[in-house]
Structure 1
């Protein structure tokens, strides 16, 4: 015998449309796909699937963690931006100095142990001349010099920038350049001058060695490159080995602090604390060089 299926009322039959849980006087258009609460068109927020209520959207935003690079920086779509900006600044300064000639060059380069009739010349004069520690890092006179340095920056920079993030990479570059300039200032022979991005480039080399060791990559290619550069440093005429070694050591120390910092909330503190300690060491080196010249 065939039985007719029982007739069941449709959901909410006779009860009218459901009201929005935030606005009881408004009919709900849809239900939240996460909590199933009814929401009106003014409250619904479009989601990848369906719609959500404002509370679920806020809760989801709190639980989503920001992506980070392997060493804690913020990832960027363009991982060459800082590298290309630094290359652009170096090229702009080069063209400016070519147009301004030797007087402008003399105003920007790093002067070691030099004296005039009135006293020391350059950084040792005091805070008004400390800018030379930085301007010398972006200063080149010969086209072969800037060409080699910028090719090295273009080759080394993007990988470190992608791994560290923009801010940490920029700090690494600038501190390496300043570290090289400070050691050059401390140890340079009398009446000598130094210029060029080589200290910063050697800092990137040192940081690349630390990074590849930290990531357990094959170190042989970068060690061979570093060895060749050190050979040129100590055999090629008119190369400031002090700036190269100072940049190399500074870059390696900064990279150790950044790439071996523990994960979690303490990591930024360790990373930027390392940068602060290195900056203090650079300032101490400049002070020692000044005392040596003026004392």
Structure 2
């Protein structure tokens, strides 16, 4: 019942007019009605609408019938908050802290042989999780590496760094590139791009680097983001003139600075470009299915290359 009932008569003997009450709070009188269902609602139950007010049930029903906002590439609007980018940075920083805690020398932060001593030395954690083809830690010791079954290295390596300078350079690039890409791709598509590009770069290290060399760093994924932002911006019809010089500078550093993984950077760049093409040019009608299938094909192709390389090292 939404109105009070009564049988008392007025001076003329007719029924006394009743005052409407809120359908959710029968003890509260009100003359305001929901513009959608016409039920009386009190001030506590009023929800602002484009015209008048609505009751809570009608507001919830309207939300269920409205499709959530999507980006131009099918991603969720939550990507504008950059949650994945921030989480990836926090994870890299946490792993850096753990790596330094595992170190047995004072050169883990800086003082290594890379970038004129700015990079740090390896730590037990980088030796455990960096990309390593097939080698032993000590002479005549057991073999470690991807060929020895430690496939996890193809993932963990993108979260490990040699010293603070290495970490800061990569995290700055991730902060700049990640927020832009996550906002236009959405969180899940951006995360898929990052991980597949990072794995692609690490697979390239496994394929083309010496089996006894250890490589680590988020730069495999970062170079994938460089390629992706160029592809995405071109797809959106935006100016890419500012991106090309930055990419060229990074490639120059890749080829000229000692102890930088050329294979890792170029591999991440190539795989990131391929994944970005899948995300950007998927047909609109079956976009999600096409994007998921394209990403899966890339992963399967990378795993196939790992199997081929493993056979070569063990053969």
> For 1:208, which of 229, 238, 241 is the aligned residue?
229
CA contact (8 A) 2:79 2:186 kept: no
What is the rounded CA distance, in whole Å, between the counterparts of 2:225 and 2:238 in structure 1?
A: 17
- In structure 2, what is the equivalent of residue 173 of structure 1? 194
- In structure 1, what is the equivalent of residue 246 of structure 2? 225
What is the rounded CA distance, in whole Å, between the counterparts of 1:138 and 1:85 in structure 2?
A: 12
What residue ranges of structure 1 are gaps of 5+ in the alignment?
A: 1-12
- In structure 1, what is the equivalent of residue 144 of structure 2? 121
Name the count of aligned residue pairs: 277
- In structure 2, what is the equivalent of residue 4 of structure 1? none
CA contact (8 A) 1:93 1:138 kept: yes
> For 2:302, which of 264, 282, 287 is the aligned residue?
282
Cα distance change on mapping 1:19 and 1:135 into 2, 3 Å = same
What is the rounded CA distance, in whole Å, between the counterparts of 1:224 and 1:53 in structure 2?
A: 56
What is the rounded CA distance, in whole Å, between the counterparts of 2:233 and 2:294 in structure 1?
A: 20
- In structure 2, what is the equivalent of residue 61 of structure 1? 63
Q: CA RMSD in A?
A: 3.0
- In structure 2, what is the equivalent of residue 272 of structure 1? 292
What is the rounded CA distance, in whole Å, between the counterparts of 1:150 and 1:59 in structure 2?
A: 43
1:9-60 Cα shifts (integer Å, max 9, x gaps)? xxxx97955999x99xx9995544236x45576xx76342434468855663
CA contact (8 A) 1:133 1:182 kept: yes
What residue ranges of structure 2 are gaps of 5+ in the alignment?
A: 1-13, 104-122
Cα distance change on mapping 1:15 and 1:275 into 2, 3 Å = farther
Structure 2 length as normaliser, TM-score?
A: 0.77
CA contact (8 A) 1:198 1:244 kept: yes
1:198 aligns with 2:214: no
CA contact (8 A) 2:131 2:216 kept: yes
- In structure 2, what is the equivalent of residue 10 of structure 1? none
What is the rounded CA distance, in whole Å, between the counterparts of 1:57 and 1:99 in structure 2?
A: 53
What is the rounded CA distance, in whole Å, between the counterparts of 2:232 and 2:288 in structure 1?
A: 17
Matches for 1:13-24 after TM superposition, within 5 Å? none
- In structure 1, what is the equivalent of residue 108 of structure 2? none
CA contact (8 A) 1:120 1:293 kept: no
What is the rounded CA distance, in whole Å, between the counterparts of 1:271 and 1:71 in structure 2?
A: 10
Cα distance change on mapping 1:157 and 1:40 into 2, 3 Å = closer
